[in-house]
Chain A
């Protein structure tokens, strides 16, 4: 399995879980579908970016750092558009980036040299 594909799958799954946890916040429960959809798309975007990065750069610490940065930036954008819940959105988003960064460095087929 290629690294970007691992990133997409993991990003989508963790993003969806991330969105589903909004159910526990009654204030936003009625927007659950939109949150899950948006969160999944955010996870996929992060996964693709981190996966392609892992294909180019083979370094676990740099891959994790890149994942954390991408996860944090995307989560901050979402929180900014929401106009609130910064902590509740940025913290999990950053951790998802970390996990995807780790997984794409550790697993998946590296790009073949031309």
Chain B
């Protein structure tokens, strides 16, 4: 009798744990990651000859509730047609009864990896603004993400920004989207460092768009933490977004995005009241080339006055 080596046993285990796509139009390529309730795989769509990301339920016990959540997640993403939200292509069932859905496969890096690659503050703010716009779009469609964090934001290879993982999203005014239906009353969902206080307390009914704004503020704070020169206005935006009292936060993701836009355009932001010196410095910084040109003109004028007097 021959014994199998550990390598072969591990290989067999991984093959057995792979989702069985044999009855679908997808061919398994590799596993991309695992979350709380699902596994995300890279697969090839044989009909359209393209790579897709497939999310499959991966828990020992697959309940109807879990199956419904998965379908709901796919439906939520499908209704959010926006360049900043990863599109869903397909939903289906595996031979073993597990639900899966196919999404666009995003090539690129997560926001935390992108920041670690040494992106400039300006680039980080631009990407962050794109995230705010995508979240604002979702909010306008009544969808609250509830788990925004750098790991759920992808920067594509062409600089496109995509918000992922809408698995714990809440739909406003949807009876099926009650706390009990999704998570059970008092269940804490989200990620510790990026979760609003009301979310961390498990007050699911209190969670609204401003919970996402808190998470966005925490994402902004993360993007700023290793930056050497960050203005007070930038910090003020992050502080306003992450205010403990949700009434003190931005009222919408669009407002937060607009403040980031003003910051990038060297205009005053709503989150920070600057003094006269700061206002002047900002104006000089914004118009330094024009000021240099006018100074050059005046210098040339003085030069001409002196030369014409000789």
Contact = CB atoms under 8 A, between A and B. Distances in A.
B290 A21 contact: no
Interface stretch (A44-52, A73-81, A88-96): A88-96
A3 to B, nearest CB: 14
B306 to A, nearest CB: 9
A4 to B, nearest CB: 18
Number of chain B interface residues as a range? 10 to 19
A98 interface: yes
A21 B305 contact: yes
Given A99-B290, A102-B290, A88 B297 contact: no
Number of chain A interface residues as a range? 10 to 19
Interface string B273-310: 00000000000000001100110110011001100110
A24 B297 contact: no
B290 A24 contact: no
A25 B301 CA distance: 12
Contact of B297 (A14, A25, A87, A106): A14
Contacts of A72: none
B308 A24 contact: yes
Contacts of A92: 297, 300-301, 304
A103 interface: yes
B305 A91 contact: no
Interface string B42-82: 00000000000000000000000000000000000000000
Contacts of A21: 301, 304-305
Interface string A101-112: 011001000000
Interface string A32-60: 00000000000000000000000000000
Contacts of B304: 21, 87-88, 91-92
A48 B296 CA distance: 23
Given A21-B305, A24-B308, A24-B309, A99 B300 contact: no
Contacts of A17: 301
Nearest to B294: A99
Contacts of B296: 95
B143 to A, nearest CB: 33
Nearest to A64: B293
Contacts of B305: 21, 24-25
A88 B305 CA distance: 9
Given A92-B301, A95-B300, A102-B289, A25 B308 contact: yes
Interface of B: 289-290, 293-294, 296-297, 300-301, 304-305, 308-309
Q: When A and B form their complex, which 3 residue pairs have the shortest distance between CB atoms, in order from nearest?
A: A24-B305, A99-B293, A95-B297
